[in-house]
């Protein structure tokens, strides 16, 4: 008998790399990458003319702190639920402590802001605060201002915010300016 050498059947894999490369290019070109959006905030203008520091009445600052257990504290002592925050913010901003705001509906408490244009929300959080909780608190602040601005737009212009002209929208923003102070977080 003769010695027959059998060649094992082989698959030509030379074009496999080309096919894989083409598939990779196809998926890169056809895949959409969702762009994450951040929190829309307008930074204050840089102070160019002194005095750049002003004295603010303590009653015009509402201190909100989120600790490492994700609990919300108001004025360093009262622990509240997230669902309560929006109403507390609205009552603080719309207080009309000076009794000079003709569009405010506040209770005119001596412990809350003088008027909406002077109300400052000071937001501080612990370095170990859950990011989701921090964003939820930011959302509640935005909801409070949106509710106040919507009510103002309906009472003054009889329109929703979407229907306002650019000048009317500026007037609404001037009546209820969004003033948020975020305190720098110290990491140990």
The encoded tokens of residue 123 equal 């937001």
Q: Dihedral angle at the C-alpha atoms of 97, 103, 105, 110, nearest 10 degrees?
A: 0
Chain centre to alpha carbon of residue 77: 24
d(CA 58, CA 145): 20
**Among 20-29, 41-50, 95-104, 132-141, the least confident range:** 41-50
Residue 48 in any domain: the answer is: no
Tell me if 8 is assigned to some domain. no
Q: Where are the beta strands (DSSP E) in 23-119?
A: 61-66, 72-74, 78-80
Place of tokens 């002003």: 54
The tens digit of pLDDT for each residue in 97-116 reads 788 888 888 788 877 888 88
In a domain, 98, yes or no: yes
Q: Is the Cβ–Cβ distance between 67 and 80 less than 8 Å? A: no
Domain membership flag for residue 93: yes
% of the chain exceeding 70 in pLDDT: 88
Tell me the pLDDT band of 181, cut-offs 50, 70 and 90: confident
Structure tokens at 81: 């639920």
Residue 1 has pLDDT above 60, yes or no: no
Q: What angle do CA 21, 27, 33 make, to 5 degrees?
A: 135
Q: What is the mean pLDDT of the chain?
A: 84
Helix H or strand E segment including 121: strand 120-125
pLDDT for the residue 5? 64
Residue 90, domain member (yes or no):
yes
pLDDT at 100: 82
**With 0-12 CB in 10 A as exposed, 13-18 as middle and 19+ as buried, what is 117?**
middle
Pick the most confident of 47-56, 90-99, 146-155: 146-155
**Structural domains of the chain, count:** 1
Evaluate whether residue 28 is within a structural domain: no
Average pLDDT of span 152-166: 90
Is 136 in a helix, a strand, or coil? helix
Domain that holds residue 150: 58-182
Question: Is 47 within the bounds of a domain?
Answer: no
In the block, residue with structure tokens 């979407």: 162
DSSP-assigned beta bridge partners for residue 123: 64, 182
Q: Mean of the pLDDT values across residues 137-147?
A: 93
Lowest-confidence pick of 9-18, 104-113, 120-129, 174-183: 9-18
Asked if residue 42 belongs to a domain, the reply is no
């Amino acid at each position: 008998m003769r010695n027959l050498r059998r060649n094992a059947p082989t698959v030509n894999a030379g074009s496999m790399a080309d096919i894989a490369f083409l598939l990779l290019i196809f998926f890169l070109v056809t895949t959409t990458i969702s762009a994450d959006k951040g929190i829309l905030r307008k930074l204050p203008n840089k102070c160019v003319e002194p005095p750049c520091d002003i004295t603010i009445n303590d009653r015009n600052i509402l201190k909100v702190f989120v600790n490492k257990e994700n609990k919300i504290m108001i004025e360093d002592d009262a622990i509240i639920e997230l669902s309560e925050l929006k109403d507390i913010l609205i009552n603080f901003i719309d207080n009309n402590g000076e009794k000079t705001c003709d569009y405010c509906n506040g209770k005119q408490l001596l412990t809350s802001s003088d008027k909406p244009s002077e109300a400052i929300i000071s937001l501080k959080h612990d370095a170990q605060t859950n990011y989701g909780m921090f964003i939820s608190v930011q959302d509640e602040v935005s909801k409070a201002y949106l509710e106040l601005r919507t009510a103002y737009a309906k009472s003054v212009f009889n329109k929703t915010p979407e229907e306002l002209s650019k000048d009317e929208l500026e007037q609404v923003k001037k009546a209820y300016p969004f003033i948020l102070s975020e305190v720098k977080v110290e990491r140990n």
